[in-house]
Amino acid sequence: MRVLLAGGAGYIGAHTAVALLESGHEVVLLDDLSGTQAVAAERVETITGKAAPLVVGNAADDEVVEAVFAEHGPIDAIVHLAAFKAVGESTQKPLDYYANNLDSTFALLRVGLAHGIRSFVFSSTGTVYSDPADLPFTEDSTTSVDLSNPYSKSKRMNEVILADVARVNPDVNVTILRYFNPVGAHPSGLIGEDPTGIPNNLMPYVSRVAIGTLDRIGVFGDDYDTPDGTGLRDYIHVVDLAEGHVVALEQAQPGLAVYNLGTGVPVSVLQLIASFEAAVGRELPKEFLPRRAGDVAATYCDPAKAAAELGWRTRLTIDDASRDYWNWQSRNPRGYSA
């Protein structure tokens, strides 16, 4: 099938493009390049030896999306990865986050449905789950729009919108994928995560310390009720995550489906740091700091539904992710910038 990947030059998008191309599908990438660079699309083509045309534009603009269909159609499916995603920034710029993260869904749906798309896959998040007592989170665990930040709220709002769209378009496959914590990079070292400024997520932060652009790793909280006192998270290798999108498209049935994409194996902050230190071959400077407001002791999922219905399971470990991320970072110390 021919797939429009909105946000297709980003971290998850580029890896998903590789997975789709290697599975025999065609891709068209749409990205405004606000969080990545065009070279990511070029490297997708280098890895796969296949075309990955990039349209530079805003997925929230109906005219831009319409032009993609006009130039690159017919398009069978849309994978919607385009979103502002910095949780902390979302609390300072709520209007920007709601506008971008909702308007992109509206535009892609309006244009896509008008052109007869058969499948729509949405990039959601495990942060829509609202009751820590539900661990491990299943797709039936409690969700809410009364969440701690506009980023998570916008994702849950999108889920509600998509459920209504699926209800009145019963022939369309609408799939919601709730990601947990993507880490790692493609084993080639050609594509990976390239955050601007100080990274918001742990592995890129640790990697920046290892490469020497940041001084030390801040560990926020060492007194949680966990085995080593630090927070537990479900870290999924981005290659496994990308493959989840492929099976979601290939196995989806008409109607609405929701799947967790995670390992189901919680890893602590200190375990991730130790794994990365092993990949680098040396200990990294770190300091323990007070807990951050809004952080919880643990969050991880039960991915059994995706295994049962899609045949999807993770293959890669946190050590694989550390090795591959360090390979990416050491080969590209400034990310995609030359």
- At position 15, the amino acid (one-letter code) is H
Q: Is 151 a catalytic residue?
A: yes
Note whether 142 and 194 are within 8 A (CB): no
- At position 116, the amino acid (one-letter code) is G
Q: Residue 92: which residues within 8 A CB-CB, separation 6 or more? A: none
Distance CA 41, CA 60 (A): 20
Set 151, 205, 224, 259: catalytic member: 151
Torsion, CA 78, CA 97, CA 131, CA 231, rounded to 10: 100
Q: Give me the residue label for tokens 């990865």.
A: 81
Q: Which residues face 171 on adjacent strands?
A: none
| CA nearest to 30, candidates 49, 9, 48, 47 | 9
- Residues forming the active site: 151
